[in-house]
């Protein structure tokens, strides 16, 4: 069983917490310590952003994080070495790389899949790769033991859900709103309703992302039965304040701890 | 290439093109594609577009025989397709009118656009006003500095100009920002992309709206010279004016198709905007094409004297035409373009855009090696009024 499948099996109905951080931000030296700090604070899975020069689906917060990382020369192969370093001490927490296709194409998707699997990467969310365009990439990734994780949106029709069912693995990332990372969602009940339908149709856990900024929202979604919640921009915003590795580690821990606590509260079982 | 027919139904030109976007944009692109297909079948839409191109844009524009320059070069006859005479002074308006009419048909009341030199922004602001729509134009913060007169023109026309200060603060970043805005407000907003880039159906749709350039030029050339040109030459930024001209000649194998990229300070310097000459295939802005990128797949900053060519990618159809050998892609440097800018101004009384000057520079280079009974059609994609500050500054003159 893959690390992602194992992790979801272990959740036993609890909602998995997936923090997102951009690799190399606020500094290259901080990334591995931040990953460990997030696990210590209660992360069940980690999404690690691979910096790209043109992050067209990201809001200002993550754009700036990408720019900061790129200005320090961060690149995909380096991100893989950080995952490998993280794995020296942690063999259980799944790591999902999130980014854009071009850096992977530049490396060559075959080489990427092999090296990422060797480093201990469990899944990829390639934001600009739809199932239609991504058949070859998905096959290569799966053959290497990496789960291709696709996005679905409120506007995705049944045909697109079927395509994701065919090619996707690990979990599905449900973009809770029409917009970019960092935007504001208002109607979480509607989101939860849609997520329940998707889980049924896909037979995969569905993580909710975009627009979750705090413990209160995470708790609301957990009570509503979400498989997983992704919390990104709000954390990245906090980390941007760090001037050294120790502060970054403290900020990451301090930010995630109350969110994890909110998810750990016993949930009232609703009908 | 007899019976050339690209792209396929998914927007692929061989390995290029396609639709590489976040899932949130897919339904918007599906809606656009369906609306565009329906409009193309609708005689009323076609008649309205035709009428707007005549009455508002001023088509057909002439295919002008530049006799003095031809004489001086001593070789092929130089013919200029006068897109600079269109309303707003460049080819960009052909596409802006087409997309705005489509937007209106789809019930959208707001247009957004990205712009580099400001020409596409001005064209979009113009049609938005003409059709009573709101307009927001995204422009790199650095380009706003470089092209202040076009920024003012857009504001005069009632458009909001938003400065984009992410990334390299130029055209590519403006495109990213426009895509972000579109995904956030898809219900009432139509994104008017200004070149043959972006996800399917944009490259095909923008080409189709510019094909009028080639259709007119081909008929005019036959009428005026009795034969087809030996070559068609156009500058290539994203590639819209070039593909508009080429499209009508692709099935004429005897006509050479030559696209001229911005050679900047020379290919060896790395300071240029010539992805077809020195880049490699990758994925940016929703399609697969040749890109200027580093070894890690990060998009590189570009340089050109002309803001309109300052783009690290190129329309996917050009990538396909390059690989297939049907079209050739060459470069002209800043210096060569500037010389051609002056030559045309002084010999023919036509001040060209700096973008266009790249095409002229290459034409002036090859014409002397050709026969006098051959002709070259150059797409005179725009007029140079917007560039006089840049050119004056290079000569140490403050206007
Ligand atoms: C006059 C003119 N020509 C050419 C271009 C380049 O665009 P394209 O390659 O899409 O024709 C521009 C872009 O701003 C322009 O203003």
Calculate the average pLDDT of chain B: 97
Q: Is the pLDDT of residue A269 over 60?
A: no
Which token pair is B136? 């927001």
Q: Of B202, B229, B256, which one is at a domain's C-terminal end?
A: B202
A155 vs B384, which has greater pLDDT?
B384
Does residue A129 belong to the interface with chain B, where contact is any CB pair within 8 Å?
A: yes
| Residues of chain B with C-beta less than 8 angstroms from the C-beta of A105 | 281-283, 297
- Of these residues, B52, B81, B92, B177, which one is catalytic? B92
What ranges in chain A are assigned the alpha helix state H?
3-11, 31-40, 60-71, 76-89, 101-107, 109-119, 135-143, 158-167, 188-202, 215-223, 233-239, 245-264
Most confident of A91-100, A191-200, B145-154: A91-100
Residue to probe by mutation, ligand 1, list B236, B309, B332, B388, most atoms within 8 Å of CB: B309
Q: Is the pLDDT of residue A183 over 80?
A: no
Half-sphere exposure of A111 (CA within 13 A, CB side): 8
Q: Of B133, B168, B202, which one is at a domain's C-terminal end?
A: B202
Q: Whose CA is nearest to atom 15 of ligand 1?
A: B308
Which token pair is A210? 């975009």
Same domain, B197 and B327: no
Give the pLDDT band of residue A266 (cuts 50, 70, 90). low
Q: In the sheet that B110-115 helps form, which strands lie side by side, from edge to edge?
A: B160-164, B134-140, B110-115, B189-191
SS (H, E, C) B117-180: CCHHHHHHHHHHHHCCCEEEEEEEHHHHHHCHHHHHHHHHCCCEEEEECCCCCCHHHHHHHHHH
**pLDDT value at residue B176:** 95
Same domain, B105 and B233: no
Same domain, B170 and B236: no
Same domain, B137 and B237: no
Closest atom of ligand 1 to B309 CA is 6
Q: Is B74 left (phi over 0), alpha (psi -120 to 50) or beta?
A: left
B175 in a structural domain: yes
**pLDDT value at residue B354:** 97
B124 lines ligand 1 (CB under 6 A): no
DSSP one-letter string for B326-354: SEEEEEEEHHHHHHHHHHHHHHHS--B-H
| Residues of chain B with C-beta less than 8 angstroms from the C-beta of A59 | 180
The answer for residues whose C-beta is within 8 angstroms of residue A121's C-beta and 6 or more apart is A80, A83, A95, A96, A97, A146
**What is the gyration radius of the CA atoms in chain B, in angstroms?**
19
Same domain, B168 and B313: no
**Number of domains chain A is built from:** 1
Q: Whose CA is nearest to atom 5 of ligand 1?
A: B308
Same domain, B361 and B379: yes
SS (H, E, C) B32-58: HHHHHHHHHHCHHHHHHHHHHHHHHHC
Q: In percent, how much of chain B has pLDDT > 90? A: 95
Does residue A102 belong to the interface with chain B, where contact is any CB pair within 8 Å?
A: yes
Terminus-to-terminus CA distance in chain B, angstroms? 49
DSSP 3-state of A266: coil
Same domain, B48 and B192: yes
Whole-angstrom distance, CA of residue B382 vs CA of residue B363: 16
Same domain, B23 and B73: no
Q: In percent, how much of chain A has pLDDT > 90? A: 86
Q: What is the pLDDT of residues A19-62, one digit of tens each?
A: 999 999 999 999 999 999 999 999 999 999 999 999 999 999 99
The answer for residues whose C-beta is within 8 angstroms of residue B236's C-beta and 6 or more apart is B242, B259, B260, B261, B276, B309, B314, B318, B329
Range of the domain at B121: 12-54+92-202
Q: Give Cα separations from B118 to B149, B151, B315, B399 (angstroms).
A: 9, 7, 19, 20
DSSP letter at A232 equals -
Give the pLDDT band of residue A176 (cuts 50, 70, 90). confident
Q: How many CB atoms lie within 10 A of CB B303?
A: 18
B193 in a structural domain: yes
B265 in a structural domain: yes
Same domain, B214 and B254: yes
| Residues of chain A with C-beta less than 8 angstroms from the C-beta of B24 | 57, 151, 153, 155, 175, 178-179
B119 lines ligand 1 (CB under 6 A): yes
A267 in a structural domain: no
Which token pair is B360? 């002229």
Which of B174, B184, B200 is CA-nearest to residue B29?
Answer: B200
Give the pLDDT band of residue A270 (cuts 50, 70, 90). very low
A270 in a structural domain: no
B72 is catalytic: no
Query: pTM for this structure?
Result: 0.96
- Which of A78, A162, A176, A178 to mutate: most B Cβ within 10 Å? A178
A268 in a structural domain: no
Q: CB-based burial of residue A33 (10 Å sphere; 0-12 exposed, 13-18 middle, 19+ buried)?
A: middle
| Residues of chain B with C-beta less than 8 angstroms from the C-beta of A107 | 296-297
Q: Do A180 and B173 touch (CB under 8 A)?
A: no
Does residue A130 belong to the interface with chain B, where contact is any CB pair within 8 Å?
A: yes
Range of the domain at A87: 3-262
Q: Which residues from B are below 8 Å from A when comparing CB atoms?
A: 10, 18-24, 26-28, 166-167, 172-173, 176, 179-180, 183-184, 186, 281-286, 291, 293, 295-299
Give the pLDDT band of residue A171 (cuts 50, 70, 90). very high
B353 lines ligand 1 (CB under 6 A): yes
- Any bridge partners for residue A17, and if so which? A229
**pLDDT value at residue A188:** 86
A115 in a structural domain: yes
Whole-angstrom distance, CA of residue B294 vs CA of residue B301: 10
Q: What is the pLDDT of residues A67-86, one digit of tens each?
A: 999 999 999 999 999 999 99
**pLDDT value at residue B153:** 97
CA angle A224, A225, A226 (to 5 degrees): 105
Whole-angstrom distance, CA of residue B135 vs CA of residue B155: 10
Q: Do A107 and B299 touch (CB under 8 A)?
A: no
Q: Is B161 left (phi over 0), alpha (psi -120 to 50) or beta?
A: beta
Average pLDDT over residues A167-171: 96
- Any bridge partners for residue B77, and if so which? B375
Same domain, B265 and B380: yes
Average pLDDT over residues B35-61: 98
A87 in a structural domain: yes
**pLDDT value at residue A190:** 87
> CATH number for the domain including A50?
3.20.20.70
DSSP letter at A170 equals S
**pLDDT value at residue B3:** 84
Q: How far is CA B321 from the centre of its chain?
A: 16
B271 is catalytic: no
Which token pair is B165? 């200060």
**Number of domains chain B is built from:** 2
Whole-angstrom distance, CA of residue B361 vs CA of residue B335: 9
**What is the gyration radius of the CA atoms in chain A, in angstroms?**
17
CA angle A81, A83, A86 (to 5 degrees): 110
B4 in a structural domain: no
**pLDDT value at residue B1:** 62
Residue labelled with tokens 């990213």: B176
Q: Give Cα separations from A105 to B240, B274, B310, B323 (angstroms).
A: 26, 20, 23, 19
Q: Do A133 and B20 touch (CB under 8 A)?
A: yes
Whole-angstrom distance, CA of residue B210 vs CA of residue B262: 21
Q: Is the pLDDT of residue A185 over 80?
A: no
Q: Of B202, B233, B249, which one is at a domain's C-terminal end?
A: B202
Q: Is the peptide bond before B60 cis (omega within 30 degrees of 0)?
A: yes
Which token pair is B164? 């984009």
Give the pLDDT band of residue A271 (cuts 50, 70, 90). very low
> CATH number for the domain including B97?
3.40.50.1100
Average pLDDT over residues B171-183: 95
Average pLDDT over residues A178-186: 70
Q: What is the pLDDT of residues A203-257, one digit of tens each?
A: 999 999 988 889 999 999 999 999 999 999 999 999 999 999 999 999 999 999 9
Q: What is the pLDDT of residues B69-111, one digit of tens each?
A: 999 999 999 999 999 999 999 999 999 999 999 999 999 999 9
Q: Is the pLDDT of residue B146 over 60?
A: yes
**pLDDT value at residue A267:** 56
Same domain, B282 and B387: yes
């Amino acid at each position: 069983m893959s690390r992602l499948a194992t992790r979801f099996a272990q959740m036993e109905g609890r909602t998995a917490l997936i923090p997102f951080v951009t690799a190399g931000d606020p500094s290259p030296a901080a990334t591995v310590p931040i990953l460990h700090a997030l696990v210590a604070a209660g992360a069940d899975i980690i999404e690690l952003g691979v910096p790209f020069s043109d992050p067209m689906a990201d809001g200002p917060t993550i754009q700036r994080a990408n720019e900061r990382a790129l200005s320090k020369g961060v690149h995909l192969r380096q991100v893989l070495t950080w995952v490998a370093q993280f794995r020296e001490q942690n063999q259980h927490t799944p790591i999902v790389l999130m980014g854009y296709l071009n850096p992977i194409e530049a490396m060559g998707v075959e080489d990427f899949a092999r090296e990422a699997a060797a480093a201990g990467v469990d899944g990829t969310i390639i934001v600009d790769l739809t199932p239609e365009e991504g058949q070859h990439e998905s096959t290569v990734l799966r053959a290497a033991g990496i789960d291709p994780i696709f996005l679905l949106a409120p506007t995705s029709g049944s045909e697109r859900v079927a395509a994701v069912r065919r090619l996707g693995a690990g979990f599905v990332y449900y973009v809770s709103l029409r917009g970019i990372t960092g935007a504001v969602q208002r109607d979480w009940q509607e989101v939860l309703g849609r997520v329940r339908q998707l889980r049924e149709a896909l037979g995969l856990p569905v993580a909710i992302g975009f627009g979750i900024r705090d413990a209160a929202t995470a708790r609301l979604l957990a009570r509503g039965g979400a498989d997983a919640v992704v919390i990104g921009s709000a954390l990245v915003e906090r980390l941007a304040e760090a001037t050294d590795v120790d502060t970054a580690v403290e900020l990451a821990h301090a930010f995630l701890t109350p969110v994890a606590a909110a998810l750990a509260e016993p949930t009232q079982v609703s009908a | 290439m007899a019976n050339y027919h690209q792209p396929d139904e998914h927007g692929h030109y061989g390995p290029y093109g396609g639709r590489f976007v976040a899932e949130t944009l897919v339904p918007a692109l599906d809606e656009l594609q369906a609306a565009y297909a329906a409009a193309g079948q609708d005689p009323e839409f076609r008649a309205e577009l035709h009428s707007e191109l005549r009455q508002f844009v001023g088509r057909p524009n002439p295919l002008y025989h530049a006799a003095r320059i031809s004489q001086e070069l001593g070789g092929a006859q130089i013919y200029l397709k006068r897109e600079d005479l269109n309303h707003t002074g460049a080819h960009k308006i052909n596409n802006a009118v087409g997309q705005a009419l489509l937007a209106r048909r789809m019930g959208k009341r707001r247009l957004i656009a990205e712009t580099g030199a400001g020409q596409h922004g001005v064209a979009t602001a113009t049609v938005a006003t003409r059709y009573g729509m709101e307009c927001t134009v995204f422009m790199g913060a650095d380009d706003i500095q470089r092209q202040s007169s076009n920024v003012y023109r857009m504001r005069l026309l009632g458009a909001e100009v938003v400065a984009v200060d992410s990334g390299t603060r130029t055209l590519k970043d403006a495109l990213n920002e426009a895509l972000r805005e579109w995904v956030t407000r898809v219900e009432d907003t139509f994104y008017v992309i200004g070149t043959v880039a972006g996800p399917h159906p944009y490259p095909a749709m923008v080409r189709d709206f510019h094909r009028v350039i080639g259709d007119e030029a081909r008929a005019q050339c036959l009428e005026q010279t009795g034969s087809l040109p030996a070559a068609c030459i156009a500058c290539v930024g994203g590639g819209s004016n070039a593909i508009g001209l080429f499209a009508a000649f692709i099935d004429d194998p005897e006509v050479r198709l030559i696209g001229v990229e911005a050679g900047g300070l020379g290919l060896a310097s790395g300071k240029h905007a010539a992805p077809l000459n020195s880049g490699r295939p990758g994925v940016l802005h929703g399609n697969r094409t040749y890109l200027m990128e580093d070894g890690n797949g990060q998009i590189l900053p570009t340089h050109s004297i002309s803001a309109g060519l300052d783009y690290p990618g190129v329309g996917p159809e050009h990538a396909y035409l390059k690989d297939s050998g049907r079209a050739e892609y060459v470069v002209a440097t800043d210096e060569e373009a500037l010389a051609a800018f002056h030559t045309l101004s002084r010999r023919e009384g036509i001040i060209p855009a700096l973008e266009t000057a790249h095409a002229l520079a290459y034409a002036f280079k090859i014409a002397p090696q050709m026969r006098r009974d051959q002709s070259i059609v150059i797409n005179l994609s725009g007029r140079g009024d917007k560039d006089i500050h840049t050119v004056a500054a290079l000569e140490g003159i403050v206007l």
